[in-house]
Structure 1
């Protein structure tokens, strides 16, 4: 009888938990790629668990449970303690149902708090993870060469060793590789068991010593926790059809504001007007008077300065390029170009200085494009305690104030992933809620009962979970967002147990008030047991340390806090909403009365139908 009574709730809870993962499994982008296997695996596990609960569990209960065993020993002590809890809950619930407007007002206030909690929670793509390494991007100052080029040792390695000695046994070794105007290095930390400092702490502590290296700039950073990110976490793009010269001033202003805010360890733009350029300007009148062909002069300059090969020759079976070029010592400065000779009209040599002048200007190192528009990328590194979303909002607010019409902002790398993936959460969440509502509506054959279940439990659990992200215990990232979606399915089961049994008690003849009190009191124990199992099972994620702890903490905090707060309020709010919204189910005496009326009505109406 007990198994037959629970068939409906078990089917409803199983389908609900399985359906909540469907939008996550079919979602595209980075979130879909990361959590597709997770979603389908849990949906399958929940389905198998529901089948086991309907088949094997009743059989095992009939074989293993003995009559009277729950009244003796430790089980008896637990039952007596729980009976006290049940009586206290029944007394409190009865009191709250007398003041339903107060309960509903409190529910509305908590539900409305979801908006500020969500809006003002810090956001990031994924929590920073300690991957055991701190990278260093090496840039030369004023395009000076990094010394020595393409060698495994140098100023960066020496400074890194100094950092290692300063902070103690946290890091084990350092290495670097430098090209002429930049390079890349890194410090590898010791295993977690041999150190107490995280890679993020090492990053902050290494910033000062590395900034003192003469001639180069070293930007320390940790690798992105997810694949697909760029070199820097902050990657802010300004695009426009205007000339690059107009972009430089705005970019420098944004970089200055970013560094003044204290949110950035490093910030800079990739558009630099510091490349000296010398143009050879021909005087056409002088060229004509000297008898020099302009195309021949250009060809000679290209040959002497361009570095292109004109032929190949073979020595001992090997092929080598022939590259005619002026000696390096004779082309180090622009003024030396005036000493170059080109071919004249009679194959005589004519000095370049007799018909050409030099025009010096400053040009960008490279012209950047983004979606076929002139662009500048502002890249930066933020400290571990500053969420990426907060840094991007600072740049977005400043850009909205200073950028004129025709300039647009965009993102690249990890910043783009944050903005794209973060915007998908609300759509996925709403789709999960709609699927659960439709599944419950089909199961209960009613649109009211699913409304009671979801409205009486989900907003309360979400508000409780988002309160911890609002207070800074975690951030809104793809892991915590998946935790919130999971929370919807987990907390809905509390309402399913109460509403389904309340409907059943109404059908036995109880009025709505007595039915909902009886249902909530009877279902209190399974609700508390399943909630305790969920909380205890996920609580180790809250305490996780070491590699991957950031992702585990985010999911754990959302599920544990949401289940505790959501269950606490659900036990009192769902009965009040049930009294307000649920319909009265006819049963018991009403069914008996109908059964006595129907035969009499049938006998009276039968001749009329036959005569017709």
Structure 2
């Protein structure tokens, strides 16, 4: 804001000094009289410029959320600088012009500058005269530029914030559902070994079961200072991704950490699929979106948070047979809970420390679901009855957890876009696939970085519209007309064209 203010605060002073100098040159007035005459002519224009520039930043100053946190200081700094520059232009600048400016012969440098600006002025005058002679052509050019601006605006890639080279990358490692911490750690060590010879790497670190499940791991890569390496983090990301693709026992995704704080962890694109239907229906719909998104060729990885790969053992009790053997159902449940439930039953103290007592059968009696049938339960008559006589054991796959979002069954689609695809374009691709695939009873929502990107994108549009409205009302009050401000406001869509073109050329 301070850097931008340097260019803005001198505008008013330039207008004031130029007008005073014009009166000295053309009318032959003294610096003092030229200052009086010049300020009578342009003081209202300077006030209008100052109020308009200060008012345009007012909507940003009152914006909430992440946008407000980022731009509030920016808006207040610029508005304050512009207001003070207007005060200086109306007071200090004419006083200094009256005391310092001198009429007389020009130096050689001044003559060169004046002649250069004179030629530019003549070219500009001819262009304006030509545009006024062919007004329909000029109007068609304006309409074409405005239409092109609208079209290019809808096609411009978007993201929450540009990805920055922060000097380190992150990787999420997913092992099969059944994987133990030892299994996951083995492949994490293999990953660390594959990147060991990258010269830009300064440090590597990892954590297994960092979110609880033993089949998940977290790996970080810290790089040397920017001056000590020739490759950017984007190039290193491609290199590490290619090396990690050789690891067959796990899935590993490499991505840069979020540029903005508070935008959530994990993969940068996260969309929630939720429905009033069963969890299995949500899983099937999310899996369909995941497969189509992966086939689109715009993502390095796409994940579905719900998966039916967690082994589940179902014990079905034959109640009639249990009753015939005088075996209470509750005793069967208590026996299984005690032997394999892993529940705390008591505590004991030793050397001022308290320890939980968790009974469990040995490993060889619980490494296979069929072993459950070999357990014995004491009947009401005191006899030991094998569970195989009264239960049927079956295994099937089930989700590790049934997610809910806003009280509806849900699944989260997470994606890592290609380096050439922005998060906004990647999210739109998944949205389009979801809208084509999902029935009417399904809804989409967002979480993490994607939720902020959606919310803050709307906030920026609202702030821009509010700024345009505020400027129009301020100009209408100054000119006492609702028509005259439209002439000035026509510069807004044409200036946006100058901002959109570099973005579409990949220069922004």
Instruction: Find out whether 1:228 has 2:262 as its counterpart.
Output: yes
Give the secondary-structure state (helix, strand or coil) at the position aligned to 1:113: helix
Q: Which residue, 177, 193, 200 being the options, matches 1:170?
A: 200
Q: Which moved more, 1:59-68 or 1:434-443?
A: 59-68
State the Cα distance separating 1:161 from its structure 2 match. Answer: 4.5
**Equivalence for 1:156:** 188
Give the secondary-structure state (helix, strand or coil) at the position aligned to 1:175: strand
Give the Cα separation in 1 of the matches to 2:178 and 2:101.
80
Could you say if the C-alpha distance between residues 125 and 328 of structure 1 is closer, same or farther in structure 2, counting changes exceeding 3 Å?
same
State the Cα distance separating 1:218 from its structure 2 match. Answer: 1.2
**Equivalence for 1:372:** 407
Could you say if the C-alpha distance between residues 102 and 338 of structure 1 is closer, same or farther in structure 2, counting changes exceeding 3 Å?
same
State the Cα distance separating 1:387 from its structure 2 match. Answer: 1.1
Q: Which residue, 69, 76, 91 being the options, matches 1:40?
A: 76
**Equivalence for 1:566:** none
Instruction: Find out whether 1:320 has 2:355 as its counterpart.
Output: yes
- Residue correspondence of structure 1 range 123-272 to structure 2 within 5 A: 123-147=158-182, 155-165=187-197, 168-179=198-209, 180-230=214-264, 231-272=266-307
Q: Which residue, 448, 465, 476 being the options, matches 2:483?
A: 448
Give the Cα separation in 2 of the matches to 1:383 and 1:186.
20
Show structure 2 runs of 5+ residues with no match: 1-36
Instruction: Find out whether 1:53 has 2:94 as its counterpart.
Output: no
Contact 1:117/1:469, CA 8 A, preserved across alignment: no
State the Cα distance separating 1:164 from its structure 2 match. Answer: 4.9
Give the Cα separation in 1 of the matches to 2:303 and 2:356.
40
Contact 1:146/1:215, CA 8 A, preserved across alignment: no
Could you say if the C-alpha distance between residues 229 and 421 of structure 1 is closer, same or farther in structure 2, counting changes exceeding 3 Å?
same
Give the Cα separation in 2 of the matches to 1:20 and 1:59.
29
State the Cα distance separating 1:4 from its structure 2 match. Answer: 3.0
Structure 1 runs of 4+ with >4 Å offset: none
Contact 2:67/2:459, CA 8 A, preserved across alignment: no
**Equivalence for 1:280:** 315
Give the secondary-structure state (helix, strand or coil) at the position aligned to 1:410: strand
Could you say if the C-alpha distance between residues 359 and 396 of structure 1 is closer, same or farther in structure 2, counting changes exceeding 3 Å?
same
Show structure 1 runs of 5+ residues with no match: 475-612
**Equivalence for 1:550:** none
Give the Cα separation in 1 of the matches to 2:150 and 2:496.
10
**Equivalence for 1:293:** 328
Deviation readout 1:88-147 (Å, 9 max, x if unpaired): 322332232222222122112212222101111111111111111110111113532353
Give the Cα separation in 1 of the matches to 2:407 and 2:262.
22
Give the Cα separation in 2 of the matches to 1:121 and 1:276.
46
State the Cα distance separating 1:348 from its structure 2 match. Answer: 3.2
Give the Cα separation in 2 of the matches to 1:348 and 1:436.
91
Give the Cα separation in 2 of the matches to 1:124 and 1:24.
19
Give the Cα separation in 2 of the matches to 1:176 and 1:426.
41
Give the secondary-structure state (helix, strand or coil) at the position aligned to 2:418: coil
Could you say if the C-alpha distance between residues 8 and 234 of structure 1 is closer, same or farther in structure 2, counting changes exceeding 3 Å?
same
* TM-score using structure 2 length: 0.88
Give the Cα separation in 1 of the matches to 2:134 and 2:248.
73
Contact 2:194/2:244, CA 8 A, preserved across alignment: no
**Equivalence for 2:55:** 19
**Equivalence for 1:31:** 67
**Equivalence for 1:514:** none
Deviation readout 1:357-403 (Å, 9 max, x if unpaired): 11222101110111111111110111221011221222122212221
Give the Cα separation in 1 of the matches to 2:323 and 2:196.
68
Contact 1:300/1:343, CA 8 A, preserved across alignment: no
Give the Cα separation in 2 of the matches to 1:347 and 1:324.
22
**Equivalence for 2:21:** none
Give the secondary-structure state (helix, strand or coil) at the position aligned to 2:195: helix
**Equivalence for 1:580:** none
Could you say if the C-alpha distance between residues 159 and 308 of structure 1 is closer, same or farther in structure 2, counting changes exceeding 3 Å?
closer
Could you say if the C-alpha distance between residues 103 and 164 of structure 1 is closer, same or farther in structure 2, counting changes exceeding 3 Å?
farther
**Equivalence for 2:15:** none
Give the Cα separation in 1 of the matches to 2:151 and 2:495.
15
The number of equivalent residue pairs is 467
Q: Which moved more, 1:74-83 or 1:321-330?
A: 321-330
Give the Cα separation in 1 of the matches to 2:49 and 2:322.
90
**Equivalence for 2:18:** none
Give the secondary-structure state (helix, strand or coil) at the position aligned to 1:273: coil
Contact 1:252/1:269, CA 8 A, preserved across alignment: yes
